[in-house]
Amino acid sequence: MISHLDHLVLTVSDIESSVAFYRRTLMMRDSHFAQGRRALHFGSQKINLQRLGQEKRNRAAVGSGDLCLITTWTLDRVIAHLKIEGVDILEGPVAKTGAMGAMQSIYFCDPDGNLIEISRYDDDGLNIDSASDPEA
């Protein structure tokens, strides 16, 4: 019945600060939509940003997000990039199990305390070949 995730929503305290953080640290693209709302794009996915109380249909709270994002980079490269950006790594690399099997993960928080997990599957066949990664 369900084929994939289209988007998710993070509740943040300051949308522009969040856009700047995700653009800088995770190299996401940003956009405007629907009466000035903001979104972050990566691959064919997006994260919509909202302020507390903006959406009356949910019980969102600032900093309650917990995201796992898959990288095409090695985790060593991700860690080096995050260090340059001044991001403190909370844990990792550690072995975890994702939707498609065994992976290695690192964890850090965004400015609002949302937990971000960056992972790479142990089986390189499940990752985009670094030859196709323009950042490799």
Which sequence positions are flagged as catalytic? 117
Degrees, nearest 5: CA angle 11-16-20: 105
User: In angstroms, rounded to a whole number, what is the distance separating the alpha carbons of residues 16 and 100?
Assistant: 34
For residues 124 and 101, is the Cβ–Cβ distance under 8 A?
A: no
What whole-number distance in Å separates Cα of residue 25 and Cα of residue 93? 18
C-alpha neighbours within 13 Å on the C-beta side of residue 89: 17
DSSP string for 94-133: EEEEETTEEEEEEEEE-TT--EEEEEEESSGGGS--GGG-
Helix or strand run (H / E) with residue 91:
strand 91-98
